[in-house]
Amino acid sequence: MEEAVKTKKHRRRRRAGDPVVLPDLVILGALFGLMIIGAVMIYSTTSYTSDLNNQSQFLKKQLLAEFLGLVAIAGIYLLPYNTIKWVGGRPMRLILLFGSLLSVFLLKTPLGKTVKGATRWIVIGPMQVQPAEIVKIAILIYIAGFIAEKKEFINTRTGFFHALAVTGLSAGLVYKISNNLSSALIIGGIGVLMIFASTKDWAKQIIGYALIIVLGVWFMISKAHSAQAAGQVDTLKFRYKRILVWEDPTNPDFYYEGAFQTLQGLYAIGSGGVFGKGIGKGIQKLDKIPEVHNDMIYSAICEETGLIGAVVVMLLLGTMVVRCFQLALKARDTYGMLLCTGVMLHIAIQTILNVMVVTNTMPNTGVSLPFISYGGSSALFLMAEVGLVLRVGRYSSR
């Protein structure tokens, strides 16, 4: 009798759909903490320049993007889970990926906007969007849907190389058209690591990826050193020059090749100490660190809030990564698990790359700090990804 009652209750719950429960408070708490820190630091790092130019628009634009991001989170969270899965279905995911890559090609049209020599934005009316951010979420959804549709197909040679080719093509187009290496690395990293997490031959993958990375790094370093030895540094592309800057940022020959930004960022980190100079009291942000409100904002955090503030930011980002991983383990289906895994990888890869660049652990390449750096497109689409994770968590709570 008791079993029959339980069965009837279960059927009623299934007919009613997913319960509308509170979203995961751990993720939301970490997200709001990062948003508050980001807003404070964007205001702090841009107040001097904005006052000089009478253009105090940075914080307003960021807050608008984050508001739209919160709307996206709420909308995705309330969507039926079947709609989320439909987006990962074959026809829809093809349209999504094709549309995102098409937006990259728009950079070659009059809609493309060039800032400081880089054409990475398209302008449609009052909106300014970075297509690379659309590709990041598109590749995440594509790979998740592709693997979930045929779970064992990814373990075949055809399935593995199909997923790898789509990832490589997407990353390659973003790099070739927008000359945006950091976004290409993130797109490639998301796709490759999602494939790695879904296949059985992980040992072979590790060896293969390691060889590709080692050979690529060796080739670039060798080419940079050969040109330096031959006195032909000026003929090198700027990416090779940045390798030389990374190895010797104090070399006066590289002062205008990126060393200035790197050194000023390191000065800011070192001068912050344990407790920092205080919010708004940083010196290096005063027209010394290029893009301090964007790619180099972590150096300003270290200077103004010290080691304590830097650790707090890493703990909040780490909390989001760990919680995404936990929700991936609790997911009720493969698609939900892979969505959480992809978002986790996106946040982790972007955070690691940003901190490594700011601390000169790797050559300088522009990459923002998730949820903190100035950038409307990045904030909006990252928050949409958080909405996907929260929706998977809601579905798993049934």
Burial 16-45 (b: 16+ CB within 10 A, else e): eebeeeebbeebbebbebbbebbbbbbbbb
- What mean pLDDT comes out for the span 387-393? 95
Closest by CA position to 135, among listed 100, 185, 95, 182: 100
Provide the token pair at 77: 């969270």
Number of Cβ atoms within 10 Å of the Cβ of 281: 11
- 357, with CB counted inside 10 A (0-12, 13-18, 19+), is buried
Return d(Cα 360, Cα 296) in angstroms, integer: 11
Return d(Cα 141, Cα 88) in angstroms, integer: 6
Q: Which amino acid is at 283?
A: I
Provide the token pair at 316: 């909040």
Return d(Cα 369, Cα 135) in angstroms, integer: 18
Confidence of residue 370 (pLDDT cuts 50, 70, 90): very high
Return d(Cα 173, Cα 168) in angstroms, integer: 8
What is the overall mean pLDDT for the chain?
A: 85
Q: What's residue 256's pLDDT? A: 67
Element (H, E) at 113: strand 112-115
Element (H, E) at 119: strand 118-124
- What mean pLDDT comes out for the span 26-33? 96
Return d(Cα 258, Cα 242) in angstroms, integer: 7
**Residue 112 bridge partners (DSSP):** 122
Position 149 pLDDT exceeds 70? yes
Position 5 pLDDT exceeds 50? no
Edge-first strand listing for the sheet containing 127-129: 112-115, 118-124, 127-129
Q: What's residue 52's pLDDT? A: 55
Residues 6+ apart with CB under 8 A from 241: 224, 233, 254, 257, 258
Cβ distance 147 to 334 under 8 Å? yes
- 55, with CB counted inside 10 A (0-12, 13-18, 19+), is exposed
Q: What's residue 336's pLDDT? A: 94
List the domain boundaries for the chain: 31-75+237-329+350-398, 87-200
Q: What's residue 19's pLDDT? A: 63
Q: What's residue 51's pLDDT? A: 56
Cβ distance 395 to 332 under 8 Å? yes
pLDDT tens column, 238-282: 777 788 888 888 877 777 667 788 888 899 998 888 999 989 888
Which residue is associated with the tokens 């700090």? 369
Cβ distance 294 to 278 under 8 Å? no
Return d(Cα 313, Cα 298) in angstroms, integer: 9
Q: Which amino acid is at 378?
A: S
Provide the token pair at 338: 């892979």
Cβ distance 307 to 316 under 8 Å? no
Q: What's residue 50's pLDDT? A: 58
Cβ distance 301 to 41 under 8 Å? yes
Which residue is associated with the tokens 């820190």? 37
- 169, with CB counted inside 10 A (0-12, 13-18, 19+), is middle
Indicate the pTM of the whole model. 0.90
Which residue is associated with the tokens 């993720």? 27
Q: What's residue 238's pLDDT? A: 73
Position 326 pLDDT exceeds 80? yes
Position 381 pLDDT exceeds 80? yes
pLDDT tens column, 185-212: 999 999 999 998 888 777 777 877 888 8
- What mean pLDDT comes out for the span 334-360? 94
